[in-house]
Chains A and B, each alone.
Chain A
Amino acid sequence: MSQTSFKKIAEDKIQPKDFAFDRDNMLLAKKILKIYPKNFKESSIMPLLSIAQNQNNGWLPKKAIEYISDFLEIPEIKVLEIATFYSMYNLSPVGKFHIEVCTTSPCMLRGSDEILSFCEKKLAIQVGDISKDKMFSLSRVECLGACVNAPIVKINENYYEDLDLNSTDKLINNISSNKKIKIGSQSGRKGSEPRKSSYDKKR
């Protein structure tokens, strides 16, 4: 699977002209900076990129990368390396709800491929696309690290686990109609407790 378009630097015409942390984020950034030794302040690059991304509707413009490179006094390419390496950073605009479907082996065995193609059909977009109303964008990612609850979908900051086609349908419907949705397992299991087996029923 090749790079999704969210990993490509956005066209110049949609790049904002400027970027700077707002007041709250600046305070937050300085607080994060304090955690790391003074001569290794570039270690704080990942949380800072997250702050910048959250401030800019879920994606990192060029100016934000340059801003963070100035902020940490490291070359711009070092920031770009990190931003392009990790799948949680986007370099071009995403939808209001950015859906990331895990397709690594455990999720795949539990049916993530069907969920992905269902999402594509339901939202009428392809992987790497953003819907016309800018509400949804879809991307396919490597292991999200919650295999025990496979298959998983990450929407913005939260995980939705133990999905099947029905629960995915319901999930997307609820999001688009702005209803409250349950974070975590969608099959009613608590955390990653053992699934109810036939042995449990007998008992």
Chain B
Amino acid sequence: MVQIFIDEKAYDVEDGITVIQACESAGVEIPRFCYHEKLSIAGNCRMCLVEMENSNKPVASCAMPVAEGMKIKTNSEMVVKARKGVMEFLLINHPLDCPICDQGGECDLQDQAVAYGSGISRFVEQKRAVKDKNLGPLIKTHMTRCIHCTRCVRFSEEIAGNNSQLGAIGRGEDTEITTYLEEAMDFEMSGNVIDLCPVGALTSKPYEFVARPWELKKTETIDVFDAVGSSIRIDSKSDKILRVLPRINEEINDEWISDKTRFAYDGINNQRIDRYYLRNSEGKLVEESEENILKIIHNNLSNTNSSHIAALVGNTLDCESIFSFKKFLDELKIENYDCRQDDSFFLPSQRFSYIFNSTIKGIDDSDLCLLVGTDIKKEAPILSSRIRQKFLSSPKNYKIFSVGNFNLNFAVDYLGETSSSLKKLNEKKNFDVFKNSKKPIFILGQGAMCHDDAADIFNYCLNFYQKISKNTDWNGFNVLQTFSGRVGALDLGFYNKKNTSRSLIKQIYDGKFEVLYLMSADEINFDKIPKKTFVIYHGHHGDKAVKRADLIIPMSCFTEKEGIYVNLEGRPQISSQVKFPIDGVNHSWNFLNKLSKLFNLSMYSDLNDLREKMFLNHEHLSNINQIKLSRINRNKHGKFKFSNQEMKSNISNFYMTDSVSRNSKIMSECSLAFLKETNVP
């Protein structure tokens, strides 16, 4: 600790921080443009100038480390004069177009010009004009407004890391921010530069001229488009979601979110199911009343042997929906249900086998990383950039091994792309590296867990992990889930207890079941379902499933209800209701309640009643935001068989992974622009 004086008051601050951070902790606000807590220090905007005793010129507080006895003045005449001068220079080339600028109302330059701007310009020469860049369908540029803080450049280099990075070309007055030859910014985190930009140079294209910030209703909630569960804020206006912004959460997403989280929101209102439908004898879907639908389902379920009924839940469902559905099925003695629409491997009732044990923050403490069959940049961009930051902070000491050939944003030691290349881990040169590691993390992706050799890969890695790990306090054996509802569903036990090794999919395709109840499950291959199977689809979007479904039940989408989601670390989080459900649509448990009434089964009086019943057996779900740590309690030795099958990620198109993002116009523009894919449903 060192003692410094800010505006003649003494403060004890941590050693090694900068003056701007010290002022921040003392509650003294310093204006800034280029400084950002999560990025490296550039010191080029000069807005954060403060007066320091024994220095005859003002110093940039963002780049000045604190020292014992330092005396800082943040409000003296010299400081104000200096900042006014800086502001005048910044405004020289900045256009006066705030009324037509999307940043208006939340613009750092606008706000600080109120405090330090001079009101009139003394500049009579020609203003600089810069050609706008086309950076793809997400980011709108207005480069004349740019003040060259280089936050976006530092972000793309330090956090996102990709070939289509931003850079500053030219010098002096001719400096321009651009990508190489104006390529589109195609990395998965590109939208964050919109938040970083302190002016209106980089703004959101989909949000172009949509609203002003003060008109928006702000709802703090969590993201469900991937399993990370990033903290977000949804801005809406009269029941319409207009944009999604990140919230700071150091334990999960710092203050970044992926482009899917940010831009897939427009899919929520497209192609919604808002009525009950039944397929008639001609094969056409016709509208049907709720009573009739309930009767038909009642008939169907009670006239079919329960062993011939199967049920699947979707990947982005909340715990309440899954729990109420499971209870309904259990009471009807239906056993064939599963939450896995892929063949993902896990060990039943062994929680460590399907969660990210080290936790996301644990990545920062780790000293070695092994990726097995995971294209982590697509599956969880937030984690990928965490690993990148860890890697960049110690490039010599942090080694990353990868099984599976993927385009990642850090350098890896590539072991091979088939499962048999795992054996290279036991080669002496690799083994020694692992053995010297104190806190290794292993990340098994769905490419490994859905692989034909999944069980062998899992056990081999677990064995190897136990062989090299000495530290009992550290559990770095992680499985990377990619869907927001998966961990919750596995926690709630939504799988067939008798047949867990592989999911139900094969039996469904084989025609073992007469009735198939899908609760927003639409990732299976619907062409393979035999014609005789009666398919009930209970979901919110007219996606792949409706083409095959014989009966359709509407349900509310994740923004229309409160729900508990468990993220990949096993952290229960609660999402908030952003808007009311569309007309005629209800929470899924509401419909199940009505169905239960026909069957004379137990019912819920309201959401709290449901939750209480859920917490009875699953207490950990009630501890919102607390991770129940799991221990590895299994030690199996044996022979492992590996095939030569390549490890592939389960996500081929990052922009379209579920029914909402598949129906999003912005996401389809992205996959067209960045992946040249046109499979718009």
List chain A positions with a Cβ less than 8 A from chain B. 2-3, 7, 9, 39, 62, 75-78, 80-81, 84-85
Contact = CB atoms under 8 A, between A and B. Distances in A.
Contacts of B170: 3, 7, 84-85
A115 to B, nearest CB: 23
Interface stretch (B160-168, B361-369, B661-669): B160-168
B174 interface: yes
Interface string B153-176: 000000000111111111101100
B236 interface: no
20 contacts: A2-B174, A3-B170, A7-B170, A75-B162, A75-B163, A75-B165, A75-B167, A75-B180, A76-B163, A77-B165, A77-B169, A77-B178, A77-B179, A78-B165, A78-B167, A80-B167, A84-B170, A84-B171, A85-B170, A85-B171
Contacts of A77: 165-167, 169, 178-180
Contacts, number: 40
Contact of B395 (A7, A39, A76, A84): A39
Interface string B137-167: 0000000000000000000000000111111
Task: For chain B, give the interface size range.
Answer: 10 to 19
B169 A80 contact: yes
B396 interface: yes
Nearest to B165: A75
Query: Dominant SS at the B interface?
Result: mixed
Contacts of B162: 75
Given A39-B396, A76-B163, A76-B180, 7 more contacts: A9-B181, A39-B395, A75-B162, A80-B167, A85-B169, A85-B170, A85-B171
Contacts of B168: 81
A42 to B, nearest CB: 12
Interface in B389-448: 395-396
Interface in B654-681: none
Contacts of A78: 165, 167
Contacts of B180: 75-77, 80
A81 B395 contact: no
B167 A81 contact: yes
A82 B415 CA distance: 35
Contacts of B166: 77
Contacts of A81: 167-169
B167 A62 contact: no
A84 B180 CA distance: 12
Nearest to B128: A2
A7 B167 CA distance: 16
A31 to B, nearest CB: 24
B647 to A, nearest CB: 25
A91 to B, nearest CB: 10
Of the candidates A39, A77, A80, the one having the most CB atoms from chain B within 10 angstroms of its own CB is A77
B174 A3 contact: yes
A174 to B, nearest CB: 33
A78 B169 CA distance: 9
Interface string B174-198: 1000111100000000000000000
Nearest to B162: A75
Contacts of A75: 162-165, 167, 180
A77 B171 CA distance: 14
Given A39-B395, A75-B163, A76-B163, A62 B169 contact: no
B646 to A, nearest CB: 25
A90 B456 CA distance: 57
A78 B396 CA distance: 22
Nearest to A77: B167
Contacts of A62: 181
Contacts of A39: 395-396
B438 to A, nearest CB: 23
Of the candidates A3, A62, A75, A78, the one having the most CB atoms from chain B within 10 angstroms of its own CB is A75
Contacts of A84: 169-171
B170 to A, nearest CB: 5
A9 B181 CA distance: 9
B239 to A, nearest CB: 42
A134 to B, nearest CB: 26
A172 B553 CA distance: 86
Contacts of B171: 84-85
Nearest to B171: A85
Interface string B462-503: 000000000000000000000000000000000000000000
A195 B498 CA distance: 100
Contacts of A3: 170, 174
Nearest to A39: B395
Contacts of B179: 77
A30 to B, nearest CB: 21
A33 B462 CA distance: 42
A1 to B, nearest CB: 9
B241 to A, nearest CB: 34
Contacts of B169: 77, 80-81, 84-85
A9 B166 CA distance: 17
Contacts of B163: 75-76
Contacts of A80: 167, 169, 180
Contacts of B396: 39
A9 B162 CA distance: 23
Contacts of A85: 169-171
A85 B164 CA distance: 19
A77 B174 CA distance: 16
A9 to B, nearest CB: 8
Nearest to B173: A2
B579 to A, nearest CB: 41
Nearest to B161: A75
Contacts of B164: 75
A75 B186 CA distance: 14
Interface in B57-81: none
B635 to A, nearest CB: 39
A158 B16 CA distance: 47
A2 B396 CA distance: 42
A78 B179 CA distance: 10
Closest 6 pairs (CB-CB, A-B): A77-B167, A76-B180, A84-B169, A77-B180, A81-B167, A75-B165
A80 B396 CA distance: 27
Contacts of B395: 39
Nearest to B176: A84
A65 to B, nearest CB: 8
A144 to B, nearest CB: 16
A154 B167 CA distance: 29
A75 B183 CA distance: 12
A2 B395 CA distance: 40
A39 B394 CA distance: 11
A19 B168 CA distance: 24
A46 to B, nearest CB: 14
Nearest to A75: B165
A78 to B, nearest CB: 6
Nearest to A87: B171
Interface in B309-337: none
